[in-house]
Structure 1
Amino acid sequence: MDNELKLPVTAVQIPEGLDLITLGAGCFWCIEAVFLPIRGVEKVVSGYSGGFVEHPSYEEICSGTTGHAEVIQAYYDPSMISLSELLEVFWATHDPTTLNRQGADTGPQYRSSIFYHNPEQEKLASTIKTQLNESGVFEDPLVTEIAAFTNFYPAENYHQDYYNQNGAEPYCQFVIKPKVDKLKKFFAERLK
């Protein structure tokens, strides 16, 4: 067992009354823009999770060699929105059937992933994934990774709240805005 790879575990402080889920759905700018306007989501932090390099930089993540996924950590009030509702938004606003890719963004850092923080989150995510696969909602099987949370490193400051700060940029208009529009169309009752 001494040869076993030891992953860094980073402590996460969860404010009282809130819960936390760590999700990857391609570029973190996209998923952050989708989760920020949801009622009950108190805070969203973009970052890197699931890898084996401590304190990676964006450039290292982009190489696809650190094992990390671009993710967000969503702090939410479970009395206002359930994890099941958040996962419904998660699976509906990205393509969970493409391995290591979302649109033109390719590489393991863009994988569809759920890093659970407790056994209840793991069970719920696995159950919903199975139900979605069995229902045929998606033409192809879901490849979303469901793994235990091991680490999280916040992304550099310029990545935080990216869509709201840079909405006129072409990537925001052509890649992120359609996801936000889909959120508004299908989940309007869940918005702030």
Structure 2
Amino acid sequence: MYVNTKKMAVSGLLMALAVVFIVLSGILDFNTLFFLAAAAFFVGIIIREFGLRYGAAYFIGCLVLGILLAPQKLYCITYAMMGIYVLGIEFLWHYLGKHPQWEKRKRIFQIGKFVIFNVMYLPVLFFFPKLLFAGEIPDTMLFVLIVAGQIALFIYDKAYEYFLIRMWGQVRVKIFGK
């Protein structure tokens, strides 16, 4: 049986760090979204380094450990949605990479990111608003929340790209030497 020790060590350390971030999101409430987003970014690192299957297994492992260890279990739902978004866009990126003849791959990728986010965000907003907000949400506020979600998607996506390209790119050279 072949075991890649560097792969296991890196993914184990990133999983431990992701779970620490998930736990910290429940302890330090002022940085909840930052910690959850950072934990979800690690899913993207694992996918880029080791592939989609390994990344999906890593994500499931982080989610299970987060549910077991996090003091705020509802924050695990937010982490799960951020991680599923990362899994979805990385899958779409790999899928579009297999079809180089498509001329509008970049546009399809941007639309795909928008669709993946809204398939998760809008049902939660309309059918389970109690997960996001206490009390009743007026219709005018609902429109504001839809627009705010799109702005949050843009910021999250730019932060994810920056993290993966700039920050991980520098750390990756030190770890893998490539």
TM-score (normalised: structure 1): 0.30
More helix by share: 2
Larger radius of gyration between Structure 1 and Structure 2: 2
